[in-house]
C-alpha cells in the first residue's frame, strides 16, 4: 500500500484530486514513490466544514468519557496492529532507519493515544466556594476545529501527538502533514477511521505549506492552530493565526547544547552524545547538536566520539543494522552540506565527515560529521543544521558553559552530564531552555510540557499543556440559596 491519497474528509478517502501533483520521493533511491495531488481550495473548505459539522452536531464531544477512551485505545491498538506497514512506509518516505521507526516512532504513536485516553479519565475541575452564598465551578470545554500542521522529520510520531491531544478533549481536527513525507500520516489517519473515530473528527489534507497549509490556518472556521516545524515558518503561521485571534502553539527549531563536565560518567555521556545527535539521522528538533565538553576530559572524549562516529553504519534505511540512513530530501542534503566549511577558517576544523557518503551511487547519504568550533558566534553554532552534524566546543568553567549553552536564539533542550549533584542542580537552574535532560539522552515524559523558549517555540505539548491548549475554560456561578437582590426601579415615592 502506498497510502497515496489527497485527503480524508468526513471519514471518506479521496484518492485523487484536481490540484497540483506533488512527487513523494524515496530518499534512498531518489525515485518517486508516488505522486499525490494537492488538496485544492475547495477540498480545504470541505475538510474544515466536515470538522465543524462533527464538532457542532456529531457524537464525539458529547460521548461519555469511557466511550471516548475506548475509541482512543482502539486507535492505539490499530497502530500497533499495523506496525510493520506503518514502519515500512515511514522508513521509505523519510530515510530514518527501520529499527528506529518501528521501536520508537510507531510505538510512540500508539502510546500517544493510550496516554491521552488515560489522561481524560483523570480529569479534575476547579470549584470555588469562598463566598458562602455561591458555588463557582470552572468547566473545560473543547475549543472546536483544530488545524494541525506537522513536519517531515518524524511524521507519525509528531502527527499522532497532535491528533491524540486534540481529539481526546473533544475537538475535531484537520491535519496537514509535510508534503515531503505524507505517506505514514495518510495511513495513520486511515487507521483511525477504521478504529472507530466518528466521521469528520479527524480529517486529512495533503498539500504544500504556502498553499494548502496557509489556507487551512487562515480559514474562518478553524479555531486553533498547532504547528511543529521550522522557526521562520512558525513566525508566518503565528502571524496568520494572530490575525484571526486563534490560539496557536509553536514547536520550532533547536540548537541544543550537550554539556559534558569533567565529572560526567564518561561512557554514559559518550553513548548519549552519539544518540542525541545521530538518532533519526540527526533530523531532530531536540538533537544535542552542540557538544560542549570541559577541558579536563575534552581530548579523550573528542577522540572517542570521533572514533565511534566514523564507525557508524551508514546504509539503506530498510536494512536492519543501519544506524544512519539518507537525509529526507536532496534539498535538505544540500542545506546540511552547506554548513561544511569549504576551506578551513580560523577556529573551525573538520574532525570527521563533511561530504556525501562514498559508496552510494544514489540517495541523500552524508558522512556523519563532527566539527570543532571555537566561537559560539560561528554560524555552525547559531543556525539549525538538522542533520548528522555535531559541533564540538571546549570550555573551562561552568560559567563559560552556561554562556555558550544559552548563547543562541534557540532554547529547546539542554543536556547536562555530571556525577556531581551540585553541578547538575546549578546547571538546570542556569540553563535557558524549556527542557533540561540531566544525565540522560532524550527522555520524553508526556505528562510534562514539551516546548521551547525564544525561537524554539511558543506554548507546549504534553498532558496538562495539551489540556490547557485544547480546552477553553468556562466559569459558572450558581447561588446556593435564593438571593436577596436590590430592587431597581422600586424606590419609595417613585
Binding positions for ligand NAD, rule: CB under 6 A: 149-153, 158, 176, 178-179, 208-210, 213-214, 217, 228-230, 233, 236-237, 251-254, 285, 384, 386, 412, 452, 457
**Angle formed by the axes of helices 155-168 and 183-194, to 10°?**
40
- Provide, rounded to whole angstroms, the least separation between the CB of residue 172 and ligand NAD: 19
Length of the chain: 494
CB of 173 to ligand NAD, least distance (A): 14
Q: State the nearest-atom distance from the C-beta of 468 to ligand NAD, in Å.
A: 17
The SS3 of residue 357 is coil
Least distance in Å: CB of 65 to ligand NAD?
28
Residue 264 or residue 413: which is nearer to ligand NAD going by CB?
413
Is the CA virtual torsion 172, 176, 177, 182 positive or negative?
positive
Q: For ligand NAD, which is the closer residue by CB, 117 or 241?
A: 241
Name which of 49 and 236 has its Cβ closer to ligand NAD. Answer: 236
The catalytic site residues sit at: 251, 285
Closest CA to 69 of 167, 160, 162: 167
Largest pairwise CA distance in the chain = 102
CA-CA distance, 219 to 199, in Å (whole number)? 20
> Following DSSP, what letter does each residue of 66-85 receive, concatenated?
HHHHHHHHHHHHHHHHTHHH
Report the residue number, 217 or 306, with the smaller CB distance to ligand NAD: 217
Nearer to ligand NAD, 151 or 170 (CB): 151
Cα–Cα distance for residue pair 244/299, rounded to 1 Å = 54
Are the C-beta atoms of residues 196 and 169 closer than 8 Å to each other? no
Cα–Cα distance measured from residue 349 to residue 368, given in angstroms and rounded to the nearest whole number: 15
Measured distance CA(492)–CA(353) in Å, rounded: 93
Least separation in angstroms between residue 178's CB and ligand NAD is 4
Cα–Cα dist 115/442, whole Å: 18
Amino acid at each position: 500500500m502506498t497510502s497515496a491519497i489527497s485527503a480524508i474528509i468526513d471519514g471518506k478517502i479521496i484518492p485523487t484530486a484536481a490540484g497540483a501533483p506533488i512527487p513523494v520521493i524515496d530518499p534512498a533511491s531518489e525515485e518517486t514513490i508516488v505522486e499525490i495531488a494537492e488538496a485544492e481550495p475547495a477540498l480545504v473548505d470541505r475538510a474544515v466544514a466536515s470538522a465543524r459539522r462533527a464538532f457542532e452536531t456529531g457524537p464525539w464531544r458529547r460521548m461519555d468519557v469511557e466511550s471516548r477512551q475506548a475509541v482512543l485505545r482502539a486507535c492505539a491498538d490499530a497502530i500497533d496492529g499495523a506496525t510493520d506497514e506503518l514502519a515500512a512506509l515511514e522508513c521509505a518516505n523519510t530515510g530514518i532507519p527501520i529499527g528506529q521507526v518501528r521501536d520508537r516512532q510507531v510505538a510512540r504513536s500508539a502510546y500517544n493515544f493510550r496516554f491521552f485516553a488515560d489522561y481524560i479519565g483523570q480529569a479534575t475541575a476547579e470549584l470555588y466556594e469562598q463566598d458562602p452564598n455561591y458555588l463557582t465551578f470552572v468547566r473545560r470545554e473543547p475549543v472546536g476545529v483544530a488545524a494541525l500542521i506537522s513536519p517531515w522529520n518524524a511524521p507519525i510520531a509528531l502527527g499522532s501527538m497532535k491528533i491524540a491531544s486534540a481529539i481526546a478533549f473533544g475537538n475535531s481536527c484537520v491535519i496537514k502533514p509535510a508534503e515531503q513525507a505524507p505517506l505514514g500520516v495518510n495511513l495513520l489517519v486511515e487507521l483511525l477511521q477504521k478504529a472507530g473515530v466518528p466521521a469528520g473528527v479527524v480529517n486529512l489534507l495533503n498539500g504544500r505549506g504556502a498553499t494548502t497549509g496557509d489556507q487551512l490556518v487562515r480559514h474562518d472556521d478553524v479555531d486553533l492552530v498547532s504547528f511543529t516545524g521550522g522557526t521562520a515558518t512558525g513566525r508566518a503561521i503565528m502571524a496568520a493565526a494572530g490575525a484571526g485571534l486563534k490560539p496557536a502553539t509553536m514547536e520550532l527549531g533547536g540548537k541544543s547544547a550537550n554539556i559534558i563536565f569533567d565529572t560526567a560518567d564518561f561512557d554514559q555521556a559518550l553513548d548519549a552524545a552519539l544518540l542525541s545527535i545521530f538518532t533519526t539521522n540527526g533530523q531532530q528538533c531536540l538533537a544535542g547538536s552542540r557538544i560542549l565538553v570541559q577541558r579536563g576530559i575534552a581530548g579523550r572524549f573528542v577522540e572517542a566520539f570521533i572514533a565511534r562516529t566514523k564507525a557508524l553504519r551508514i546504509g539503506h534505511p530498510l536494512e536492519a543494522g543501519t544506524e544512519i540512513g539518507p537525509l529526507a530530501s536532496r534539498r535538505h542534503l544540500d542545506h546540511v552540506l552547506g554548513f561544511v566549511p569549504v576551506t578551513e577558517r580560523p577556529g573551525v576544523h573538520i574532525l570527521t565527515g563533511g561530504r556525501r557518503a562514498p559508496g552510494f551511487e544514489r540517495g541523500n547519504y552524508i558522512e556523519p560529521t563532527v566539527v570543532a568550533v571555537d566561537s559560539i558566534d560561528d554560524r555552525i553554532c547559531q543556525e539549525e543544521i538538522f542533520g548528522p552534524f555535531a559541533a564540538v566546543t571546549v570550555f573551562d568553567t561552568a560559567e563559560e558553559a552556561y554562556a555558550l549553552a544559552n548563547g543562541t536564539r534557540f532554547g529547546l533542550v539542554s543536556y547536562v552530564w555530571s556525577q556531581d549533584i551540585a553541578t547538575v542542580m546549578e546547571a538546570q537552574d542556569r540553563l535557558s531552555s524549556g527542557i533540561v535532560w540531566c544525565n540522560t539522552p532524550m527522555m520524553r515524559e508526556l505528562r510534562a510540557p514539551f516546548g521551547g523558549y525564544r525561537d524554539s517555540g511558543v506554548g507546549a505539548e504534553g498532558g496538562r499543556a495539551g489540556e490547557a491548549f485544547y480546552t477553553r475554560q468556562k466559569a459558572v456561578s450558581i447561588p446556593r440559596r435564593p438571593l436577596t437582590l436590590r430592587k431597581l426601579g422600586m424606590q419609595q415615592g417613585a
